A and B are shown apart, each in its own frame.
Chain A
Amino acid sequence: MTRRTKTRTGARTRSGIGTRTRTRTLGLSLLLLLLLASTLFPLYWMVATSVRGEASVIKTAVDLWPRRPSLHNYLDVWESGPFARYFVNSIFVSAVVVLGNLLFASMVGYAIARRQFRGKRFVIVAIVSMLMVPRQITMIPLYLLISTFHMMNTYLALTLPFLVDAFNIFLISQYVISLPLELEEAARIDGASDMSIFFRIVLPLSRPALAVVAINTFLVNWNSFLYPLILTNTERMRTLPVGLALYSQGEHSVDWGHLTAGSTLCAVPIILVFLVFQRHIIEGITAGAVK
């Protein structure tokens, strides 16, 4: 009799805990889904506003579901010239900066990881200083430098200063340190030159780190604002974020249909890149933190 009761109580307790855990999981999931929906809502709102007809933007500023969606805002901003140009500029500048970082940052990263040389400590301190000092300090001299050499409004000004990023150097050198030395030594014994060791062995082996570098550099450069803002002053040379920001200042300041269409053009490529390469992106971000 006593025994049976005991078993029963035990069983009840166990199933009680199970239910409680399940309730907790369910509650937590609901809460997180709700929070996620409200986090993504402003982006949905952007797209929803951009596909509304002009008349309905003015008449009803709040319209959760766009009635009679149309793409004419996109056609307008694209055909008005600057946005197509901004888009091309952004793509080109980002691509050049990514390529530059892939090559130059890995060269420096490799030298730091594998070579002993005089002044190595200075090099490391210099790279750390690039990470620590706020960009606003070099902004004015950089502007003066670029304008003195008549490089304002050139692709050179938008790319050259950003071809070697300090964070990328660290990422690569950390990765190269973790690679086994034997392959490089074997190649050297076989008579391979330093350059061919670097290009034929080290770079291919560093592919995972290079992927992180490429994607993060693209992410940062696509959204870069302050430098493209001060290094350009013609419409033709603006990048997408700068063009969009200046477009939103003048006569279009409450032209939400066109503004959100331009914003969507700027946001969608980067969100797509993120969704495709999210593993690499998150790896790159956490690489600096967990050490």
Chain B
Amino acid sequence: MQKPHSSKTRSTLVFLSPWLVLFGIFWLFPLIFSLVLSFLHFNPLRPDASHFVGLSNFVQAFKDPLFWKSLKNTLIFVLGTVPVTTFISFLLAVAINQRIPFRTLYRSGFFIPSVVSVVVISIIFKQLYSPLGLVSRVVELFGGEPQSWLGNPRTALLCIMAMDVWASFGYYTILFLAGLQAIPSEIYEAARIDGGGFWGTLRFVTIPMVRPITLFVVVINTIRSFQVFIEIFVMTRGGPLNSTLTSVFYLYDRAFYRFEMGYASAVAYLLFVVILCFSLLQMKYLRMGRAAGE
């Protein structure tokens, strides 16, 4: 009786071991090591010169105007794109969910931009936003001045935000569609018999029913948007005048250009705390909304 049990335990360990090893080396160790680093002065070019500095990396971040600038830009990016993307993808999902022809065409067509690398998307839009690019030409057509949209500190971040909405709404549309299709048709039938029109049904049936998926969409999009990096790396590198400097680009710049890896680890942990707070707030707020709706 003892034998098969122990062999089963052994095989469980065999099944788990590849993950255990990789998790330990490439996840758990880095996670702890980066917390340690955040209390150190650490330059990989002179590792022997590293020493414990207490909380001063965090203090340095709070005192650095560029840290605040990058956080502010990131917040503008998140608060500007997430609601717009959510709104567009919800409406689009409702539209595609109607009884219309070509539904599968829409479902896959709108999704295509989200499988394409952000690097590629950034290059395409860099051209569109250039002084001789299409956006300038269209603006010219309406009597405006052509300009370098990414070279202007007042428009650069907005341009990248618009691109992000374009590149990502198809993904969230698919999620909303899945949520809409999970609503039992009897509920719609009942709403129709009760004489709820299209908008009434939308407001009193559809929106409350897709609240869990809305929560999911908002939370994962927020987490993703806080980490905006590739767009900045390819299109502006934080410029002009730091107008597109985001938190992760700031962090990357400190860690891999100035080699202030202790400081950068502290910034990474601060960013993590900000993201965590946002996610918890959203969960609380959107859950409360559901409770109030019931």
Which A residues are closer than 8 A to B by beta carbons? 25, 28-29, 31-33, 35-36, 39-40, 42-43, 45-46, 49, 61-62, 103-105, 107-108, 110-111, 115, 117, 123, 126, 129-130, 133-145, 147, 160-161, 163-164, 169, 194-195, 198, 219, 222-223, 225-226, 229-230, 240-242, 244-245, 248-249, 254, 256, 259-260, 263, 266-267, 270-271, 273-275, 278, 281-282, 285-286, 288-290
Contacts and interface: CB of A to CB of B under 8 A. Distances in A.
B7 A46 contact: no
B116 A137 contact: no
Given A45-B134, A286-B175, A126 B28 contact: yes
A133 B268 CA distance: 11
A100 to B, nearest CB: 8
A42 B100 contact: no
Contact of A271 (B100, B102, B112, B226): B112
B106 to A, nearest CB: 6
Nearest to A226: B229
B11 A225 contact: no
B230 A225 contact: yes
A135 B226 CA distance: 12
17 contacts: A28-B95, A45-B134, A61-B134, A62-B134, A126-B23, A126-B28, A136-B268, A139-B268, A164-B22, A222-B117, A241-B119, A244-B123, A260-B127, A267-B117, A282-B174, A285-B174, A289-B213
Contacts of A282: 107, 111, 174, 178
A281 B226 CA distance: 25
A135 B223 CA distance: 11
A286 B7 contact: no
B115 A134 contact: no
B155 interface: no
Contacts of B105: 36
Given A45-B124, A133-B31, A194 B8 contact: yes
B271 A136 contact: yes
A198 B14 CA distance: 12
B33 A141 contact: yes
| B contact face: mostly helix, strand, loop, or mixed | helix
B73 to A, nearest CB: 16
A249 B230 CA distance: 13
A86 B28 CA distance: 31
B12 interface: yes
Contacts of B100: 25, 28-29, 32
Contacts of B179: 289-290
Contacts of B62: none
Contact of A138 (B16, B26, B92, B127): B26
B16 A123 contact: yes
Contacts of A143: 255-256
Interface in B116-144: 116-128, 130, 132-134, 137
B115 A274 contact: yes
B37 interface: yes
A134 B166 CA distance: 23
B1 interface: no
Contacts of A271: 112, 115-116
Max chain B Cβ within 10 angstroms of own Cβ: one of A49, A141, A266: A141
Contacts of A49: 127
Nearest to A240: B117
A129 B216 CA distance: 17
A107 B119 contact: no
A112 B269 CA distance: 30
B37 A140 contact: yes
Interface of B: 7-9, 11-12, 14-16, 18-19, 22-23, 25-31, 33-34, 37, 44, 92, 95-96, 98-102, 105-113, 115-128, 130, 132-134, 137, 166, 170-171, 174-175, 178-179, 182, 213, 216-217, 223, 226-227, 229-230, 233-234, 248, 251, 255-256, 261, 264-265, 268-269, 271-272, 275
| A contact face: mostly helix, strand, loop, or mixed | helix
A160 B27 CA distance: 12
Nearest to B98: A28
Given A140-B264, A194-B7, A267-B120, A256 B127 contact: yes
A225 B122 CA distance: 13
Nearest to A287: B178
A41 B67 CA distance: 37
A137 B31 contact: yes
A40 B25 contact: no
Contact of B182 (A42, A140, A290): A290
Contacts of B264: 140
Contacts of B34: 137-138, 140-141
A126 B28 CA distance: 9
A104 B21 CA distance: 11
B116 to A, nearest CB: 5
B37 A141 contact: yes
Contacts of A289: 175, 178-179, 213, 216-217
A195 B11 contact: yes
A117 B105 CA distance: 47
Contact of A134 (B12, B108, B234, B271): B271
